[in-house]
Chains A and B, each alone.
Chain A
Amino acid sequence: MILELEGCVPSFLSAAQAPLAFYGPSNLLAGRFLHLHAGDGLSEFGAPTPRAVEYCIGAGRYAEKLDPPYTLKELLEVLPEELRKKAENSVCLRRAFYLSRVDPRLLKKVKIYVDDPLLLFALEPYMPAYAVGIPGDKRRRAKCGAGQPPPPQLADAEARILPPEEFVDFLYARDILKPVVNPLLVLKLLWRLRRVL
């Protein structure tokens, strides 16, 4: 979920706990932030969030039907004809697939600033995400702190994008015991059998 911030954003960002990802004008930052970049790359395999798919081709609700990870081919199969053409030619969508394979494991203890909305969408499943300048799922009016927020300190860093096979390993290992501790997931698993049979 992305929270759209308004009000005293610098006060909010300096007081917030890491990890978090923020997208917006850099003059709103306060305190230490990692300015995260991602190298060039396009892909047809990953786990772009419905929001990322909505941003690129306006087909978020179709992406909700797919479980991560999925391929561009799988997405094309669930799209209606007019959106399929758009998706086939979309560089943005291929970029979203590529960035969705970002490795969040090294970013668990930092506050991250991104200047690419697709990178914010990619980080959204792993940490709280805040934005100024793109519509979020909810709005939050940040309260002003008593003192002056600290000046921004930005350190550049390159995001690690996992190769497809490592991304499968990452998703496989994540939450592997969840079905054991959550009986609802077992029921969901049985329900999924409906699709296979």
Chain B
Amino acid sequence: MALEVAFGVVGLFWALALSAAVVYLLTYVFGPVAGVVFAALSATYIAVGYSTVFFAYKAIKRPELVKPSTAILWSRAALIAAVVSALSANLLYAVSSALLALALYLYAKELAKAAT
């Protein structure tokens, strides 16, 4: 989770800069529609990405807030963020998100086992 916070902030900042450059390039070459579509897609990715970072930060500070349903939900979000990051070559954030997804999944299982 600490890795997610560290790599997430750096990796997503890099993604933000890269997206801005690509949006500029697409708008210049293909027109404003292409730029707007790419901007919307990258904004969604960055928003979900920063959400997982905030979640990881909050989970470190107040672990009692992490319930089985929350763990499953954010593990899925982190998994999707990891796949998208790996595809866009944002490797540090992809690895940290994959680890966060795994950690939350195992934690959900632990909570389930404890509540039996």
A interface with B by C-beta (< 8 Å): 43-45, 66-74, 164-165, 167-169, 171-172, 176, 179-180, 183, 186, 189-190, 192-193, 196-197
Contact = CB atoms under 8 A, between A and B. Distances in A.
Nearest to B62: A196
Contact of A193 (B55, B68, B112): B55
Given A68-B69, A69-B68, A168-B68, A44 B48 contact: no
A86 B51 CA distance: 38
Contacts of B76: 172, 176, 179
B44 A180 contact: no
A70 B75 CA distance: 16
Contacts of A45: 68, 112, 115-116
Contacts of A44: 115-116
A94 to B, nearest CB: 11
A70 B112 contact: no
Contacts of B69: 66-70
Nearest to A167: B112
Nearest to A101: B112
Contacts of A180: 80
Contacts of A73: 115
Contacts of B68: 45, 69-71, 168
Chain B interface residue bracket vs A: 20 to 34
B73 interface: yes
A46 to B, nearest CB: 9
List the 8 shortest-distance A-B pairs measured between CB atoms, nearest first: A164-B112, A67-B69, A45-B115, A71-B115, A165-B109, A168-B112, A168-B109, A168-B108
Overall SS of chain B's interface:
helix
B63 to A, nearest CB: 12
Given A172-B75, A176-B76, A69 B112 contact: yes
Interface string B28-40: 0000000000000
B105 interface: yes
A190 B48 contact: yes
A193 B54 contact: yes
Contacts of A167: 112
Interface string B63-86: 001011110110111011000000
A42 to B, nearest CB: 10
Interface in B102-116: 105, 108-109, 111-113, 115-116
Contacts of B79: 176
A44 B111 CA distance: 11
A67 B66 CA distance: 12
B44 to A, nearest CB: 6
Given A179-B76, A193-B54, A197-B54, 10 more contacts: A44-B115, A70-B69, A74-B67, A164-B116, A168-B68, A168-B108, A168-B109, A186-B44, A190-B48, A196-B54
